[in-house]
Structure 1
Amino acid sequence: MTNQYLTPEAKKNIDLADKYGAHNYHPLQVVITKGEAEWVWDIDGKKYLDMLSAYSAVNQGHCHPKMQETLLAQGQRLTLSSRAFHNDQMGPWLEQLTSLCKMDKALPMNTGAEAVETAIKIARKWGYLVKGVPRHKAEIIVCDHNFHGRTTTIVSFSSEPQYKDDFGPYCGGFRAIPFGDAQALEKAITPNTVGFLFEPIQGEAGIMVPPVGYLEQISAICKKHNILCMADEIQTGLGRTGKLFAYQYENCQPDLLILGKALGGSYYPISAVVGYNSVMDLLKPGDHGSTFGGNSLACALSRTALKIIQDEKLPEKAFELGKKFRESLADLPKHVVKEVRGKGLLNAIEIQPNAGHGRFFSEQLQARGLLAKETHDVTIRFAPPLVMKEDSLNFAISVIKEVFAKTQTEWQ
């Protein structure tokens, strides 16, 4: 869709963003101004079903009433004091989070990428002080097609050229292996390996689900070779895949759990690395920090966000709705759709090579009141808020069936 379809008010907002903002995104041509549960409205009053959830940051739905209450109450008391002092929200939040994760300690940060950077630092220190790896020789194994963020350290071990081209020189200390191949992990381990960093399901890569047994195997391999099992559940965690955490589908036990996105209930950025005392207690004052990490507003909101997930049984809801979603779309025409895949409410439709471009299908969905977004041009990601009602899911299924009934050429 081009600007010729936009109303003057929508065009004005988009033109301002284009003129004064860096062009590091390619958003759909819609200006959202209001949200409630799984629905959003644009600046012209048109209603859309949100099937992206800000890349799984809105698991609890838009503007959840309990999140609103917490925001107003805490915002009137205290928002930020820094870690130079204690506040009355961080301690209870840490207890709640570690209890939920069945781990000992958590380190709060702000964004998912910051949490990944934090986990990398923790793993390296553990490697030097506990495993005895020579200083500055630590290696962390990662997977091809990973997405853990966009900092200079993280893009250094990305396999996506656009994420790293022109942003070197790159940071060393990483080795990449194929995703879903447990034997490749075992073969890649050296005496200097300190950890394996992985996504239980690769999100940005196109919702790539590993073979059954993979998570259990990599957990066992990490334990066998005395390296840290580091699960990035920033997108897959907190109910998104039909379990509280995606690794729980198998007998897998991470040493470090990396969380973000929905941890703040869509109201405030907060992230965390959660682990056991044997690893987390290696950090000393001054080793790491963040001005906003663990601030009282973020912690208060996260306490409510976590309670909503449990009280409203969002993982269980995601499991059932996701099952219906995939089963209902199993009969999409094979000359258009290569595969429907996912777990819970983290799903994708991969388009056949000659059937069209992801952007085209995203725009066709938008025109019919459904917002989703392509990744790598051949895949559309579908990840609605976990509070979604079944009627809304039925609407999504009917729209998707209509749009994917024909190839791009046939639509045009």
Structure 2
Amino acid sequence: MSDMYGEPNGGTQEHEHRGKDAYEHERIFAALPPAHGRGFAQSWWGQAWLKALEDTALELAQLKAGRRLARAGAVGAVSVRPGRITAVVKDPDGTPHRSDVLLQRLSEDDWDHFLGMTVERAGHIATLLDREMPPHLVEDASAAGVELLPGIGDLEPRCDCDAWDHCGHTSALCYQVARLLDQDPFVLFLMRGRAERELLDELQVRSVAQSETEATPADEQKGALEGVDAGEAYAEGAILPPLPELPALPSEPGLPPALDTETEPAPGLDVTALEFLAARAAAEAHRMLAEALSPGHERQPLEGELTPDEDAVRLAVAAPAAVAERLSTAARRGRDGLALAVRAWEYGGPAALAVLKEEWAPSADALARARAALDAAWDDDERPRLRATRNRWTVVGGDAQLRQGTDGRWWPYRKERGRWAPAGPAAHDPATAMAVAIGGE
């Protein structure tokens, strides 16, 4: 490797450095050309690496600075060795900075678990040799307690610019390494403590040993494989391990990934709308999970699927102005009509929206019950004069109205700028709903 601030070496080299007890391997990758018009990671494992960076960094501005430096080709030759990646990153004015990112090496026990698990699945080895990272390999390793890919806080920055968090230089180094990981997943194994040749040699030794074990005489193999019939095991539930406790509900919805990058969006892609939809999906998932974990949830009726019109109103509740404008056009309500629908939704969801849109004629029995409820709600000298039209009762000479839903509840409405607008949530008592409707006059 050249001196710390020298020019990058060409090609890829592999060196061995004598440690206290074993050889450590180092690979040096020549500086990559600028990354114009493409993302830094195309593979799922490269994207997972960047997610660990972006979830860890506390300063979005530093991540943006790092992306700019990486795109401009400011990252020199990258040294990858167990537990550390290193490169010289130059500022726009040419000032060089030695930048390192540390990643914890796997322990010998971790490697033993990982290697033993991998040889049991020949497909994993074949996929790795094709320079691909099989998702099941990472999932199986995680289930065995071995985390191959970094998570939040696992990428520890070191830079001579003295930044206390990921700076633009260490961020640029991480973005460049994502491109290296795309090309060769063995770079990740090297960071975790095993070079490619060493890893493949160990897998070969274990594969041979396993083959010899499987080649035992049939009688011995039959005895070794004897166990409990699957049907018997399932029927004897007491011998099964208990299910783990449910995870705790997160305090708030997760944050979707930021789409604010230097890459121009594809033609016709509305980035603002996409970011909004991702945030609403996270919020809705959090709400549904909270309900699923609440006591007695299994006894609650299933929610009906929203119609496209209902879903447009639901989204419009928290939509930015530009998105709300598109939703009003799609729902064919107009801006004012959508505003009324949003207000209704906030008061009572789909049921309130149905009362806003629909006018229906109560059956004779339903009409009799409604009149009885209205008669019982007030004393004779307090009862307002009401004019009935289908399921709507309007105060004569006033700007208040009651609307009855199909479930028998009463919804307060008041006239605003010549239009009837929702005034509050539903009530079982018409007098309560009327007090809300009249309160705004």
Asked whether the two chains share a fold, i.e. TM above 0.5, the reply is: no
Give the TM-score taking structure 2 as reference length. Answer: 0.19
Comparing both chains, which one has the higher relative contact order based on Cα–Cα distances under 8 Å and sequence gaps of 6 or more?
1
Give the TM-score taking structure 1 as reference length. Answer: 0.19
